[in-house]
Chain A
Amino acid sequence: AQSVAQPEDQVNVAEGNPLTVKCTYSVSGNPYLFWYVQYPNRGLQFLLKYITGDNLVKGSYGFEAEFNKSQTSFHLKKPSALVSDSALYFCAVRPNNAGNMLTFGGGTRLMVKP
């Protein structure tokens, strides 16, 4: 069975500083990895995904993520945080043989302070 871990419940960063939100995963076969963001009273918005190829994936709103197969990690990064980035971030994995079923991590709340 697949699983996703987000070890930090909350990440605090000052505006303008780089941010990292951590994610590790466990899945048999090729990992298909995703990051989603959730703003208050909203559904999930897709940020980026890793399917294959380049380990550095670029996504929406200046976010990127680095896939590391040996460490089974898929950390979300942004070079310069904005206050508007404050939200709940979810990492997810989808196995190759499970249709559209996503397994999510517990979520990390990102707080960007001015």
Chain B
Amino acid sequence: KAGVTQTPRYLIKTRGQQVTLSCSPISGHRSVSWYQQTPGQGLQFLFEYFSETQRNKGNFPGRFSGRQFSNSRSEMNVSTLELGDSALYLCASSWGTSGGGSSYNEQFFGPGTRLTVL
């Protein structure tokens, strides 16, 4: 069974540009979550999508947005890139999103997309 895939793996952009990252969840998984990992702020939750609906959103500016398609694949977009957006962006998928500790929503992480903003 294929794991979570993220494309591209590496990306270099300049300030002011926008970027779109893609995440393909494990087959059958309907929940996709996105996290930003930086040396200074650590791992921070961006948002979660389930059945094409945003379920939760972290404390990030509106420049960060996402969506989920009917096949559960998800994209996140960052507009007007800033130097501080340089990070590893991780995607995680799970069957569901019932919260708590249910195995139904065990999360599996992809390898990440490393974004560098120059």
Q: Mark A81-114, 1 if CB is under 8 A from B, else 0.
A: 0000000001010111111111111110000000
When A90-B43, A98-B56 are in contact, do A43 and B109 touch as well, CB less than 8 Å? Answer: yes
Contact A104 B42 (CB under 8 A): yes
Q: Which residues of B contact A45 (CB under 8 A)?
A: 109
Contact A99 B109 (CB under 8 A): no
Contact B111 A100 (CB under 8 A): no
Contact B101 A94 (CB under 8 A): yes
Interface size class of A (residues with CB under 8 A): 20 to 34
Contact A100 B99 (CB under 8 A): yes
The number of residues on chain B lying at the interface, defined by a beta carbon within 8 Å of a beta carbon of chain A, is 29
Complex Cα distance, B100 from A95, in Å, reads 6
B61-100, CB < 8 A from A? 90, 92, 94, 97-100
Interface of A is mostly: loop
Contact A30 B100 (CB under 8 A): yes
Complex Cα distance, B113 from A41, in Å, reads 10
Q: Mark A33-56, 1 if CB is under 8 A from B, else 0.
A: 000100001111110011110000
B4, B33, B43, B48 interface centre (most CB from chain A within 10 Å)? B43
Q: Which residues of A contact B (CB under 8 A)?
A: 30, 32, 36, 41-46, 49-52, 90, 92, 94-107
